[in-house]
Amino acid sequence: MNNIEHYIESIPEQRRARFMLIHKRILKLYPDAIVDMSYRMPTYRHGEGWIALANQKNYISLYTCAESHIETYKNRHPQQKTGKGCINFRARDEIVYDDLDDVIRHAIESSGHSILTPVE
């Protein structure tokens, strides 16, 4: 079992399905993305862009490291808990997947956001 599989298996079952929906969505949009562990979370790299997905204590976080990547999603869904460059999905939160796809594309395809180096 590789590090990504081990990470996913360690997610509590009630949250794992939602994590997998986002994981599969990223890979559907970018099937040739390189997936590795960086800062102890699965990170998806395509060209110069990247996005990361993490299981936290109370939610699943999608990290982009730039507020501009999540701005449209945040404006369309003001009730959604966000950080500076991340979106935090709690169990009760609805995920609007078409809008989430826009966040993923923006983060992956935007040039000039910091390169995240692999760290175990």
Residue 117: its pLDDT value, please? 47
* Dist CA 53 CA 45 (whole Å): 12
Domain that holds residue 34: 3-109
Give the count of beta carbons closer than 10 Å to the beta carbon of residue 21.
Answer: 13
Residue 2: its pLDDT value, please? 86
* Dist CA 24 CA 28 (whole Å): 6
Domain membership flag for residue 115: no
Domain membership flag for residue 116: no
Ranges of residues in the chain whose predicted pLDDT is under 70: 1, 111-120
Domain membership flag for residue 87: yes
* Dist CA 106 CA 120 (whole Å): 26
Q: What is the CATH number of the domain that holds 57?
A: 3.90.1150.200
Is the whole model's pTM more than 0.75, yes or no?
yes
Alpha helices in 10-77 (DSSP H): 13-29, 67-76
Number of domains in the chain: 1
Sequential DSSP letters for 75-98: HH-TTS-B-SSEEEE-TT----HH
Domain membership flag for residue 105: yes
Domain membership flag for residue 99: yes
Residue 119: its pLDDT value, please? 43
